[in-house]
Amino acid sequence: MDTVAAPDGELLWVSGVLPGRTVDITAARRFKIAEKIPEFLSLLADLGHIGLHPDVITGFKRKRGEKTLPEAKKTADRLQAGLRCLGERAKAQLKCWRVLTADFRGQPRQLPTVVKAIDTMHHWIRDPFGVLAPVTGS
């Protein structure tokens, strides 16, 4: 399952279920994340998404034959990871729910619905009276 999170760690989108052997970049291509997200947000991704799209910001991998990354690339990787960790918070919050940490016993196609329900409950727990929601109108 792929997820997209806001820079503050709030979960924005959950993909459908894919087989466990599906690598990150294949899942992202299947759900066309790189075509949809960059028009609204910058997309920071881990090393599993290198080559996904020119607008997707990923870290650097060591090239064949290099023993270590140059210092400038190591620094860029650290900065990018520091920014990305806020978005990774969304996945960490999902893992707090027991239904997702234990073996899921439902149909695999039900899992995205369960995750979206959990995300909704998480928002209600965090802001039960809608105080944090922006007030619109006069």
Q: For 102-136, how does the pLDDT look when each residue is reduced to its tens digit (9 = 90+)?
A: 777 777 778 778 877 887 787 777 766 666 655 55
Token pair, residue 135, equals: 């007030």
**Distance, CA of 17 to CA of 65 (rounded, Å):** 37
Determine how β-strand 3-5 pairs with β-strand 11-14.
antiparallel
Q: How confident is the model at residue 100 (pLDDT cuts 50, 70, 90)?
A: confident
* SS3 of residue 138 by DSSP: coil
Hey, where are the domains in the chain? Answer: 3-126
pTM, two decimal places: 0.66
Q: Is residue 47 a contact partner of residue 57, using CB atoms and an 8 Å limit? A: no
Express each pLDDT in 34-93 by its tens digit.
888 777 777 888 888 888 888 888 889 988 988 999 999 999 999 988 888 877 877 777
Q: Is residue 7 a contact partner of residue 87, using CB atoms and an 8 Å limit? A: yes
